[in-house]
Structure 1
């Protein structure tokens, strides 16, 4: 069996570079990975919604499944866009269309695992946003102050490393938080959830709530929840562990209770 390719989706305020450490580890193990740039993060002018993100994710995966199996990894915000973008790309549907590959597993890293019809914030508001999210309706962006970066994203990294990482962060489109999901890929694709227990305590509680709610909401393929004592971004603080875990999950068969 040919090895699947990983599609790595960055979260809000980030770009593809956040995955570089993990990509190096995956390549060393003989796996290919791609990390598309998602326009809601860093575009000038900011995007009015997340439709361009969804379009790029869908197109990236659609091109790959013509030839090979794919594992999609989402982090934080991209759980919403990734879950929406994969409609019709699960392995069974791809096989019915005569394609060689399909999405064989979804892996959420403390990401928004949400149902169809989910909206983070009502349009025109900053509802459900934490105080550290600095919002500007006039400019259409959401930013994070340098002094809040460690507490938001990199709880288990030293201050000097955090200061360097903060320089890479980008403004996030405000409108992306007002978009609404239209598909829940975790109902159709075997799904692993990685819950980072060294994250913000409120984030840990919220992530567990999302997993429990999803499982209780109806049909699903969430078959593994992995808890790891890292901050919000284990692909940066523990790239070796992250890559090893991604490979293990990619090669594991669906095991629903």
Structure 2
């Protein structure tokens, strides 16, 4: 019997592995083992909270997974997929409204280059070395198609993010050598659909969901189905 790949799920800024719980439930019901990564950060996992620290953490996670991997990133973590997503065993990348960057770009340089984001530099606050986003701003920018209870619950769980995560420049582009799929969220208020489509044009294939920035919360089954499709297409 063919062994299914492990799905490694990486969250965006301010979030944690909890954001992928519903998607993982659907994937595991289909037989796919899942790893929900929680990146180092304040009030989160221990370790280096910078972009480099996040990359190193993800490489360690991937090194502990035996067999094939489909690596899935949401929002900011697309930068991590871009930098280290060609690790051994990774058969495909899935960018969910995620920053599929060119070398020399950062999350900030791409998202702030065009007006329209409601989670951009003017919508977040810096306190010391960390960025915070207020719950009301998050609910409007990230979760507007979620139930009010889900939106409020998610906003309450957000944690500060090191400012370096937003401004760090990627040096590599794993999507050039690893088959990659981009999920465009057409109702997104945090990373506009126009910006997403420009990044989606860089990779192997793309699809669209009529979703906010957080389809893993508002339509987890649809996200899981897309991941399964990519996993099936690129099974070794």
Query: TM-score of the superposition, structure 1-length normalised?
Result: 0.81
Residues 1:203 and 1:46: Cα distance change in structure 2 (over 3 Å) = farther
Cα deviation 1:200-237 (Å, max 9, x = unaligned): 1862111112233xx3xxxxxx2211011011111111
Give the distance between the partners of 1:132 and 1:239, measured in 2 at CA. Answer: 27
Query: For residues 63 and 48 of structure 1, do their structure 2 counterparts lie closer, same or farther at Cα, with a shift above 3 Å needed?
Result: closer
Matching residue of 2:99: 112
Measure the CA separation in 1 of the matches of 2:173 and 2:67: 22
- Tell me if the contact between 1:74 and 1:82 (Cα under 8 Å) persists in the aligned partners: yes
Would you say 1:251 and 2:232 are equivalent positions?
A: yes
Q: Which residue of 1 aligns with 2:68?
A: 69
Taking a change above 3 Å as real, the CA distance of residues 181 and 40 of structure 1, as seen in their structure-2 partners, is: farther
Per-residue deviation, 1:43: 5.2
Q: Answer yes or no: is the 8 Å Cα contact 1:13–1:170 preserved in 2.
A: yes
SS of equivalent residue, structure 1 residue 35: strand
Partner of 2:160: 171
Quote the Cα distance in structure 1 between the aligned partners of 2:49 and 2:159: 16
**CA displacement at 1:55 relative to structure 2:** 0.6
Partner residue, 2:28: 27
Partner of 2:214: 233
Separation of aligned partners in 2, 1:201 and 1:167: 18
Aligned pair in 2 of structure 1 residues 240, 43: CA closer, same or farther (>3 Å)?
Answer: closer
What residue in structure 1 maps to residue 116 of structure 2? none
Q: Secondary structure at the match of 2:37?
A: coil
Pair member with larger Rg: 1
Q: For the Cα contact (< 8 Å) 1:49–1:177, is it kept in 2?
A: no
Question: Are 2:124 and 1:133 equivalent residues in the alignment?
Answer: yes
In structure 2, distance between residues paired with 1:157 and 1:141 = 27
Name structure 2 gaps, 5 residues minimum: 114-119
Superposed CA deviations along residues 114-164 of structure 1, whole A, max 9, x for unmatched, are 012223448xxxx7643211223xx21111111111222112112232111
Indicate how the Cα distance of structure 1 residues 86 and 201 shifts in structure 2: closer, same or farther if over 3 A, else same: closer
Match among 125, 128, 133 for residue 144 of structure 1: 133
Residue in 1 aligned with 2:175?
186
Residue pair 1:134, 1:142 contacting (<8 A) in 2 also: yes
Offset of residue 253 of structure 1: 4.2
Q: Distance in 2 between matches of 1:234 and 1:143?
A: 22
CA distance in 2, matches of 1:159, 1:48: 30
Report how many aligned residue pairs link the two structures. 226
1:62 Cα offset (Å) = 2.2
